[in-house]
């Protein structure tokens, strides 16, 4: 019962994230919503695995967490830096540029 209520809560939270992803207004809002949507799907998979009696689905949740991260980084690089190929700055690089 509690698990089912939890599932419902997660689905509603996912709906809210979709709203934010559609509404924007800035691309960072959208990315935030996408990333948060991903985290919620991870949790949802974990919970429904238990609810349906197949906890082995947790493997899928791990994959979601990984993919979600990589996608967010790719989007961030796209929006902020307009390149996928150049490295992200390390503190060392920036200091060299400043000096």
| Residues numbered 28-67 forming contacts with another protein, rule: CB under 8 A | 28-67
Of 75, 26, 67, 21, give the one whose Cα is nearest residue 45. 67
Is residue 96 at the binding interface for another protein, with CB under 8 A as the rule?
no
Rounded to the nearest whole angstrom, what is the least distance from the CB of residue 87 to another protein in the complex?
Answer: 3
Rounded least distance, CB 94 to another protein, Å: 5
Minimum CB separation of residue 79 from another protein in Å reads: 4
Q: Site for another protein (CB under 8 A): how many residues?
A: 94
* Separation of alpha carbons 14 and 5, rounded Å: 14
CB 18 within 8 A of CB 32: no
């Amino acid at each position: 019962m509690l698990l089912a209520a939890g599932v419902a809560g997660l689905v509603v939270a996912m709906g809210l994230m979709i709203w934010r992803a559609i509404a924007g207004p800035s691309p960072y809002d959208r990315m935030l919503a996408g990333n948060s949507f991903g985290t919620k799907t991870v949790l949802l998979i974990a919970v429904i695995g238990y609810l349906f009696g197949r906890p082995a689905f947790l493997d899928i949740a791990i994959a979601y967490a990984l993919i979600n991260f990589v996608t967010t980084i790719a989007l961030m690089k796209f929006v902020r830096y307009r390149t996928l190929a150049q490295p992200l700055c390390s503190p060392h690089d920036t200091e060299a540029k400043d000096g």
